[in-house]
């Protein structure tokens, strides 16, 4: 059995269980209680270190009904491996317990969508999926994931993949699409806010085509466009009618650096 060990514990989040749980409990206590949990089809979370973005993620996770299966759509930062790389069986380790892979869904995706490959190589050094797992485990102990790392893909191929994935996931009800992306990277504070407002407007409208145009025209360094676009298409096709931006923040709120800023968003497609 494949066990993907924690590679970023102690860097992106605490490696000691008690310290990690205490941090997550603090995030939970600082997020307003939702009067009624949302039934979201998809969510967007960041993948930065928890002290930067943990509150943003918790603002989403605390307000939704979390199903037992999370389809994680994450950017492949290294460029290693297949265009869409999945681990089809086994589990990820975290300091607060293992997170199992849903092998049934993973293997069906491989068999039905040619571009999805059983390929662990990119996963070995990638943080974007790993960072989601401790907070998901904290929120739902029996959570299972389908981990998809996605490279930059041209629009025609992305549309083809989206169409196949929509058809595939019509068979499943107890799933949530989690795409992960950080927004503008290492711009000044004012420029980060300006560019991120453009991105958020497109995300809120669930307009993946306009989102791509804005990224290209404004030269925005958002990582995870393909993941976000797939999430928008999947969520919309499976019943979501609108997007709620639950929280937006920047790294400057934590470190006081207003020259090299990263933007983070937490959003729900409902």
CA 237, chain centre distance (Å): 19
Average pLDDT score over residue span 26-46: 93
Q: Residue 1's pLDDT is what?
A: 82
How sure is the predictor about 34, in pLDDT bands with cuts at 50, 70 and 90? Answer: confident
- Residue 67: exposed, middle, or buried by beta-carbon count in 10 A (0-12, 13-18, 19+)? middle
- The pLDDT > 90 percentage for the chain reads 97
Please give the model's pTM, rounded to 2 decimal places.
Answer: 0.97
Structural domain count of the chain: 1
Angstrom distance (rounded) from CA 267 to CA 246: 5
Angstrom distance (rounded) from CA 119 to CA 267: 29
| Buried-exposed string 126-137: b where 16+ CB fall within 10 A, e elsewhere | bbbbbbbbbbbb
What distances in angstroms separate CA 135 from CA 96, 127, 144, 253, one per listed residue?
10, 14, 13, 21
What single DSSP character describes residue 14? -
* pLDDT tens-digit map of 163-210: 999 999 999 989 999 999 999 999 999 999 999 999 999 999 999 999
In DSSP terms, 167 is beta-bridged to: none
Nearest to residue 76, comparing CAs of 234, 186, 263, 223?
223
* pLDDT tens-digit map of 125-151: 999 999 999 999 999 999 999 999 999
Nearest to residue 49, comparing CAs of 114, 132, 147, 120?
132
**In whole numbers, what is the pLDDT of the chain averaged over residues?**
97
Nearest to residue 25, comparing CAs of 63, 54, 64?
54
Angstrom distance (rounded) from CA 62 to CA 55: 10
Range of the domain at 261: 3-269
Q: Which two tokens stand for residue 205?
A: 């409208």
- CATH number, domain with residue 75: 3.40.830.10
Contacts of 150 (CB under 8 A, 6+ apart): 73, 74, 75, 76, 83, 84, 226, 227, 230
């Amino acid at each position: 059995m494949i066990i993907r060990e924690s590679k970023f514990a102690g860097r992106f989040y605490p490696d000691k269980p008690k310290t990690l749980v205490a941090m997550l409990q603090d995030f939970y206590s600082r997020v307003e209680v939702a009067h009624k949990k949302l039934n979201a089809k998809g969510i967007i979370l960041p993948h930065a270190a928890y002290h930067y973005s943990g509150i943003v993620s918790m603002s989403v996770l605390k307000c939704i009904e979390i199903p037992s299966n999370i389809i994680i759509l994450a950017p492949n930062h290294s460029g290693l491996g297949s265009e869409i790389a999945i681990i089809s069986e086994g589990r990820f380790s975290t300091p607060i317990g293992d997170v199992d892979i849903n092998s049934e869904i993973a293997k069906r995706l491989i068999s039905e969508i040619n571009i999805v490959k059983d390929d662990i190589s990119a996963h070995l050094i990638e943080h974007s999926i790993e960072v989601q797992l401790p907070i998901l485990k904290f929120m739902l102990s029996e959570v299972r994931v389908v981990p998809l790392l996605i490279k930059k893909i041209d629009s025609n191929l992305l549309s083809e993949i989206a169409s196949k994935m929509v058809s595939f996931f019509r068979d499943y009800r107890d799933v949530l699409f989690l795409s992960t992306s950080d927004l503008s990277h290492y711009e000044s504070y004012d420029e980060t806010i300006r560019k991120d407002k453009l991105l958020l407007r497109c995300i809120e409208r669930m307009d993946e085509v306009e989102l791509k145009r804005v990224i290209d025209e404004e030269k925005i360094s958002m990582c995870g466009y393909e993941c976000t676009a797939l999430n928008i298409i999947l969520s919309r096709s499976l019943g979501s009618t609108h997007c709620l931006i639950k929280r937006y923040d920047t790294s400057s709120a934590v470190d006081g650096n207003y020259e090299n800023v990263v933007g983070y968003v937490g959003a729900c497609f409902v």
